[in-house]
Amino acid sequence: MSSPCIFCQIVNGKIPAEKIYEDNNTLAFLDINPLCRGHVLVIPKKHYENIFDLPSKELINLIATAQKIAQMIKKNLGATGINLLHASGKDAQQSVFHFHIHVVPRYPNDGLNTWPSSRYQEKDLRKVKKALCQ
């Protein structure tokens, strides 16, 4: 069976990737369009599209692998911080529809800007909580 999913093809070895780590359930490889030096993607070997269809057991495996990669990046590349990033859905700027976690090394004065933040009005804070928890 041929798969159009680029990450499934990396898992199957049909598309080359610079693999960093692999176990029974997860694979980590260098992002070819890195935010910075040492940016790694961690994926499940099985195809899941996003956070909404990923079993929590798989997520536990993925987070454990992301932690291993973070430790490797800190130890071997000298990163002083890590961002774990994930996008589920087009509006979150997910570009490959095979679940993945970005492990992004951070270095002093690396110029990677954080997202803008805003502030709730007190009543809006409670409204959002009510909507979220219904």
How far is 25 from 42, CA to CA, in rounded Å? 11
Q: Binding string, 45-64, against Zn ion, x = CB under 5 A?
A: --x-----------------
Least distance from Zn ion to the Cβ atom of residue 11, Å: 7
Residue 98 falls in the annotated catalytic set: no
Given 39, 98, 100, 102, which residue is catalytic? 100
User: What is the three-state SS of 67-98?
Assistant: HHHHHHHHHHHCCCEEEEEECCCHHHCCCCCC
Should residue 106 be labelled a site residue for Zn ion when binding is judged by CB under 5 A? no
Among residues 28, 98, 99, 100, which is the contact residue for Zn ion, using CB under 5 A?
98
Structure tokens at 67: 């932690």
Q: State the Cα angle at 15 between 12 and 20, rounded to 5°.
A: 80
- Nearest distance from C-beta of residue 118 to Zn ion, angstroms: 35
Per CB under 5 A, does 29 bind Zn ion? no
> Could you say whether residue 8 binds Zn ion (CB under 5 A)?
yes
- First-residue to last-residue Cα distance in the chain: 43
Rounded Cα distance, 61 and 57, in Å: 7
What are the residue numbers of the active site?
100
Q: Tell me which residues touch Zn ion (CB under 5 A).
A: 5, 7-8, 47, 98
